[in-house]
Structure 1
Amino acid sequence: MTTYRPIATEALPEECSVAVIGSGFGASIAAARVAAATDDVLVLERGREWLPDDFPADFADVRRAVRSRRNPLGLFDLQLGADVDRLTANGLGGGSLIYANVLLEARPEVFDAQWPSGIDADELRPYADRVRAVLRPQVEDRHTPKAEALAHLGRLHGRGPERLPIAVKLHGEPGPNAAGVHQPTCTRCGNCVTGCRVGAKTTMWMSYLPMARAAGARIVTRTEVTRVVPGSGRRRWEVHGLRHPASGRRRTPMPFVVHADVVVLGAGAIGTTGILLRSADAGLATSAQLGTRFSGNADSLSVSYNAAGRRSGTGARDAAAPEVAIGPTITSTLDLRTGPDGYLVQDGALPYPVAEALRRVLGLRFALSADSRVWCDIRPGGCPPGCGALEHSQVWLAMGTDSSEGRVVLDGRGQPRIVWPEAGAQAVYARQLADLRVLSDGSSARFVGNPRRALLQRGVPAATPITVHPLGGAAMAEDVDHGVCDPDGRVFQADGDVHPGLYVVDGALCPTSTGANPSLTIASLAERAVERLVERDLPTLVGSPLRTGGTR
């Protein structure tokens, strides 16, 4: 069994050359590349550090890991809104801790509208290669029954499913990854999205963050940044925030200020936009476009409940030694991106810690229905002990292109929320749900098309979208009239110049949906922006001498 040690430190300095806010795909890449180029890099993460053994093992753990005002260090940041629901991560490693590991490049047509002219598929490809060299994605080569129904839907559309590249150590012997961190081989437990307890999933905590730490970066957790404002002489910028206590009776966070020459915002689309909105309220001059062009990436989620045949779409109780090889959360996709409302449909797996809750919820909901029979009870020979309706169920995921017309605003407590009336009325969602329903009908399963309705919240409209891929809010553009940042991630001033030493490197930059799982696009944009930061800007922004080869 592999023993992992924390990489974060408790000591919070008062100043640094470069402050990186967040630790997801964009921020971790920035931390690793900048730390390789210069000394005195500080990473500030609002959540706590999660070692593999810390991730939830059952539903009680999941409940304790939901972020709230009373539990600011919870892993799962679930926000239920009037227009759009969202689920993001809160911890060292950001969204990579609970993502489904898929690394797909956006198709060329994604960049045809709304994106700056210098950003396209050809421009990002070498940076995507750089990301793949670190994360080393692999393709599942084993038989995965949970993906079989995609072939049925594919026949209706005249195409077949494809296996996906995923950032998981699926093959080969356990050993060091590109960052020198030991990784075991995947056990195919299916519990990726509640955190990998095995250590086979290549998160930012397993890759770019150790690279940053090895290069000298200081990583501090439980530091929630609230705003960034121009400095008063000590350094160029002041980073204001709250330090959350690790545990104990003292639950009141303590305010802090870090003085920095360069600030790199990578707190995620919602987090980064929220910081900029609060900074604007505190006097930072920004574009009037701040908060606009929000996209939920046309995400959908459904469940085919109680199918006629047994599925392998429920995660294993024992992640280290699963009784059945479920496979990673996502292994395959059916590509239906044929027009402006095109989308992907992907197989999914219910992680065991969540599945046990849905077993009760869905069982209660359909207990009195005419079709409430459990198929494994009536099949000849029955099913193995412990098999029930949920073992005959399957999660399906879809994502594509929405209108990117949402807005991120601050509520009365200064927290970001999404405003997007009629978001779920877009045609792409209706088309997705029609296909997802086919996946249920083809296996005699009960279709559950909205997770909040599955939780018996009857007043929730069926079409309320939930996104796990929030994008935009501080979108890049050619000029200040059309976006918040320039194509290199530099934040515009209100007059059209850029703020020296203030950057955005995460999904907030994306002015539209990516039409696919966005992690590789976000990471590629970050690699590109940081390359320019290091080679063009850093020599004049910080006083310490630069090393060579910082972005390679």
Structure 2
Amino acid sequence: MDIKYDYEAIVIGSGFGGSINTCRLAKKWPGKVMLLERGKRYPMGSFPRSPRGMANNFWNLLPEKRNRPKNIADKETHGMFDIRNFEHIDALVGAGLGGGSLIYANVFLQPPDEVFDQSWPETSKKEALQPYYAVSKKVLGARPVPQGDDPRRQVIRTGLFQEFAKADGRESQLLDINVFFGNDFDNPTDIGVQEKNRYGALQTSCVYCAECDLGCNTQSKNSLDLNYLHVAETRYNAAIKTEVLGEKIVPLDAQGNENFAASGEFGYRVYWQDLNDGHAQHSAVTRRVVVSAGTLGSNELLMRCRDVYKTLPNISQKLGQHFSGNGDFLSFVIDGDKPADPNYGPVITQGTDYNLFKNFNRDHAFILEDASYPNFAAWYTEGLKPGFSHFSAFIRTAKMAIARFMQGITNGQIGYAFNELLKGDLSYTSSVLLCMGIDKSNGVMELNDDGFLHVKWPYKDSMSLYQTILDMGNRFKEWSGGKAFIPLPNWLWPMKSNITVHSLGGCRLANDPAEGVTSAAVDTFGQVFGYTGLYVADGALLPTAVGANPVATICALSERVAEGITGIKPDADL
């Protein structure tokens, strides 16, 4: 055998699993690991905020035939927000160097023990994952929002949600969030002051702008490009390619030729498209591949290799099974009589437990988290074109504010009208309720007739969870004196379509291929059954919903995948 390998490993996708594995594998093989990321780099200050910039910050490739909102699907854009429309569920995923970490809400939270039921092999249960939870938590700098006497650190909605929890007979706690408040955990750096983090990347002590979910222009969010990826590139010379789309994985034979019957022991040729060069195709040869394109991307890539290109025909037929939206449910309580100020602070600060961590009830278990949106959202959303149903609640809020202002003018109460507008009472007293919980994890991912991923979500099977969340939302409205409780409009009849930002499953960890797609054995953890050196490391590995924000568990599993590949126990020094 005399195969010339371009790389020891190629990683496809730079979300949590891809970034962790790029860093860990590059430490083992410096200069011999390549990362392929479809999205752009986003250096400090580069996330768009203008109406035009925001309108162009969605993801769409014209050669692909996917269901998206019409005004997104009309042109090719390589933006950060990738919105997919499926059957009874829509999904939002991030595209960019750092994947979903660029737009997630920062929470690092271990699920309760009860989540890890018989669907989870012993090697992937909570107790076995503790060392990996601990390491990734330290790397990501997870900590609660600092408390203190500085009035700028007072987040009003935190107290509001804590008061509601008490009134509703529930427990609330500050959550660990991956946000930079300085390197000293005991003495936070002053708001807005810049310093290099422990890995040498420049960050800003959080400015409380509530823009976490749109990309942090001050680099106050501990996104992956500022830790794992930063170290992989600057310390271990990982080759990071952006705006390239992983397309096909082909196993090689002993002579280095492509052989669809091979099982990976001689490596793979990986093909990708250069999105800035007319989708021109390129390829490289590698000993091993880590697929970390996110749940939707990883399932689709492996399905296309199995069923369209026929290059990986032996992947388990369990591929695509057990899809979960992690019980995500977003809703709004409009115009209460208690201040909420949802335009200030990190996007999430606290969590209220509803039968998830205490008195676990699988049919009704969820967590309620406070959420925020940036100040400019109320102004921009009024001018958005029809079709952005997920912004409709904000549009209603803006319209109500304008109506109140106009009513004051027509009644001759101009001073009152301007006062109401300047105070922003409507937004100031409205709350964003972000919930996630234990759904049934029984969705199905499959390829449509054009060869692109489609998800079928049997929402009725998870109605006990959704109804429990709706009941809580109505209680919140009554308690806060809100004028309306509004789930996302696409939840209303006859659509009954939810939206998730936590797509999970499809490449389930298991003890054998009759139960799942990837190996749960310690020495081959995350390896695709039937293929040596082909791994999955992202949310697709999760056997079920976890109820809690899934980032911590994805990180722990991905650290375990990397340890199995490299043989090196992970540490937080990277």
Aligned counterpart, 2:454: 417
1:486-530 deviations in whole A, cap 9, x for unaligned? 11101012xxxxx11100111000010111001011001111111
Q: Say which is worse superposed, 76-85 or 356-365, in terms of deviation.
A: 356-365
For the 8 Å contact 1:77–1:87, the answer to whether it is kept is yes
Under a length normalisation based on structure 1, what TM-score does the superposition of the two structures give? 0.85
2:111 and 2:289 mapped to 1: Cα distance?
Answer: 28
1:47 counterpart (29, 39, 55): 39
> 1:375 deviation in Å?
13
Partner deviation per Cα, 1:358-407 (whole Å, 9 max, x = no partner): 456558758999x9757997999955726253333221100010111001
Partner of 1:436: 473
The question of 1:342 aligning with 2:365 is answered yes
- Residues 399-454 of structure 1: CA deviation (Å, up to 9, x unaligned): 01011100111123322121123357521011112112222232232445433449
- Name the amino acid aligned to 1:106: P
User: Quick check: 57-66 or 476-485, which moved more?
Assistant: 57-66
Question: AA paired with 1:401?
Answer: I
Are residues 1:19 and 2:10 paired?
Answer: yes
Label 1:18 to 1:310 Cα distance change in 2 as closer, same or farther (>3 A).
same
- Which structure's residues are more often helix, by fraction? 2
User: Is the 2:135–2:571 Cα contact (8 Å) retained in structure 1?
Assistant: no
Residue identity matched to 1:204: L
Cα pair distance change 1:290/1:100, threshold 3 Å: same
1:307-356 CA deviation, whole Å, 9 max, x = no partner?
33443102xxxxxxxxxxx1100001101113102100000001345433
Q: Is 1:275 the counterpart of 2:301 in the alignment?
A: yes
Give every structure 1 segment of 4 or more consecutive aligned residues whose post-TM-superposition deviation is greater than 6 Å. 366-369, 374-381, 547-551
Name the SS of the counterpart of 1:125 in structure 2: helix
Tell me if the contact between 1:18 and 1:42 (Cα under 8 Å) persists in the aligned partners: yes
Shift of 1:134: 1.1
Find the counterpart in structure 1 of residue 464 from structure 2: 427
The match for 1:331 among 339, 349, 366 is: 349
Instruction: Quote the residue 2:251 is aligned against.
Output: 230
Name the residue aligned to 1:126: 131
Deviates more, 1:176-185 or 1:421-430: 421-430
Distance 2:217 2:572 in 1: 32
TM-score scaled by structure 2? 0.82
Partner SS for 2:139: helix
The answer to whether the 8 Å contact 2:404/2:417 transfers is no
- Partner letter of residue 186 of structure 1? C
Q: Which amino acid aligns with 1:168?
A: V
What does the per-residue CA deviation read over 1:120-171, in whole Å, with 9 as the maximum and x for residues that have no partner? Answer: 1111111111112211112112331112332343234423311011011122
Deviations 1:75-108 (A, max 9, x none): 0001122321111101110000000000011211
The equivalent residue for 1:541 is: none
Pairing of 1:346-365 with structure 2 (within 5 A): 346-358=369-381, 365=396
Deviations 1:153-197 (A, max 9, x none): 323442331101101112225322232112110000111000001
Matches within 5 A, 1:251-290: 252-281=278-307, 282-283=309-310, 284=312, 285-290=314-319
Whether 1:393 aligns to 2:393 is: no
Contact 1:311 1:392 (C-alpha < 8 Å) held by counterparts: yes
Q: What SS is found at the alignment partner of 1:409?
A: strand
Q: Which deviates more from structure 2 when the two are superposed, residues 484-493 or residues 279-288?
A: 279-288
Unpaired runs of at least 5, structure 2: 62-74, 148-152, 182-187, 257-265, 384-391
CA contact (8 A) 1:29 1:526 kept: yes
Give me the whole-angstrom Cα distance separating, in 2, the residues matched to 1:438 and 1:77.
33
Which of 285, 309, 321 is the aligned partner of 1:292? Answer: 321
Residue 79 to residue 534, structure 1, CA distance change in 2 (3 Å): same
Q: What is the distance in 1 between the residues matched to 2:324 and 2:399?
A: 39
What is the number of residues matched between the two proteins?
505
1:172 pairs with 2:189: yes
Instruction: Write the letter of the residue equivalent to 2:58.
Output: V
> In the alignment, does 2:500 pair up with 1:467?
yes
Structure 2: distance between partners of 1:443 and 1:374:
23
CA distance in 2, matches of 1:396, 1:185: 26
The 1-side partners of 2:95 and 2:421 are apart by: 38
- Tell me how far apart the structure 1 counterparts of residues 132 and 376 of structure 2 sit (CA, whole Å): 36
